[in-house]
Structure 1
Amino acid sequence: MHRIHRPVSRVLAAGALSLALLSAGTAGSFAAQAKPSPAPSSAKPKPSPSKSTMSSISVKTNKTAVKAGDKVIFTGRTQGLKIGTPLVLQHENHGKWVPLRASVKVKNGSAYALTSKINTKGTEHLRIAAGKTHSPTVTVKVN
């Protein structure tokens, strides 16, 4: 009877071990599925700031109406631009921004002052630009 007993006990032990491993694997699988998934966030991801959104230029003019050939002074401050960065006066021409021959560099304190003669009669839409960074548009009427 010892000879029959050994194979039976081995089969029973192997079966019990298999059942234990199978149960543990199934339980682990259920445990993995039982983890709560993170709730969807209603907050929109923030876009990473680009160089153009980190810098800005403000602008003011000393006159909003001039005669053709008169000088207009554009003043303002920059933020996020290095001292010495070139600033260019641009005007809108048929929907495109075209640089004019007036330029200046950012001074200590991030300020600038640019003087330009405006010769074209009509309403001029102007801005100050440094690369992809630009000021809001200002309007000057030229008679």
Structure 2
Amino acid sequence: MRNTFRIRPGRAMAAGVLSVGLVAGGAASAVAAPSHAAKAPASTAAAASITAQASPTTVKTGAKVTFTGQAKGLKSGATVTLKREVNSKWQTVTSSGKPVQVQLKNNGPYTLSTHPSSKGTWHYRVTSGNVHSPTVNVTVN
């Protein structure tokens, strides 16, 4: 009987060491699995961006304001549209009843223009789908 008690504690210790190794190895695998799952491909909306600059930024009523910028991550042929914030809503700017917009060509540079007819400080941005530029302010005197 004495040999049985000596073997069993040895087996229990070996089993315990193996269990700790398996649990630690399993925990490392469990931690590694979510990091692989988190690496989803970037969507086109997240990768796309639009820049915008106005020139001049202060004009008289009816004077021309030109917006230039670059659309990156958008396909050639995509349309960019000039929008103005009115009563906390973004509205498409029109000229002669048509939207102020242009289709992109290679590398995404664009030029849009408008003639603001109302005095005030106006907030503009350029959009394409759900991608938009930062707001650009134009003051009309």
TM-score (norm. length: structure 2)? 0.70
Runs of at least 5 residues in structure 2 that lack an aligned partner in the other structure: 1-10, 95-99
Task: Give the superposition deviation at 1:89.
Answer: 0.4
Partners of 2:127 and 2:40 lie apart in 1 by 23
Name 2:85's counterpart in structure 1.
92
Q: Which has the larger radius of gyration?
A: 1
2:139 partner SS: strand
The answer as to 2:28 corresponding to 1:35 is no
Change over 3 Å in CA distance of 1:84–1:34 after alignment to 2: closer
Contact residue 83 and residue 91 of structure 2 kept, 8 A: yes
Runs of at least 5 residues in structure 1 that lack an aligned partner in the other structure: 1-22
Partners of 1:51 and 1:98 lie apart in 2 by 24
Cα RMSD of the aligned pairs, angstroms, is: 2.9
Partners of 2:41 and 2:119 lie apart in 1 by 42
How many matched pairs? 116
The structure 1 segments of at least 4 consecutive aligned residues displaced by more than 3 Å after TM superposition are: 45-48
TM-superposition CA deviations, 1:53-106 (whole Å, max 9, x none):
110111111101011111111111110111121111001112221111211111
Moved more, 90-99 or 72-81: 90-99
